[in-house]
Amino acid sequence: MRNKTGLGSKKDLNADLNLTPFIDLLSTCVCFLLVTAVWIEIGTVEIKQSHGTDAKPNKKITYDLDVVYQGSQKLRLNLKKNGRTVKGFRVKGENFEDMMLQMNTIVQSKVLNFKNKAIEIASATVTPRSEINYGNLVKTLDVLRKNKIVNIGVLSARGK
Q: What is the mean pLDDT of residues 78-95?
A: 90
Stated pTM of the model: 0.59
pLDDT band for position 98 (cuts 50, 70, 90): very high
Strand partners, 124: 65, 152
For the chain, the domains span: 61-154
Q: What is the mean pLDDT of residues 40-69?
A: 64
Of 97, 32, 89, nearest to 63 (Cα)? Answer: 89
**Residue type at position 96:** F
Q: What is the mean pLDDT of residues 52-67?
A: 70
Q: Which three-class secondary structure state does DSSP give residue 20?
A: helix
Number of neighbours of residue 80 by Cβ within 10 angstroms: 18
Q: Domain 61-154: give its CATH code.
A: 3.30.420.40
Residue 103 near residue 77, CB atoms below 8 Å: yes
pLDDT band for position 159 (cuts 50, 70, 90): very low
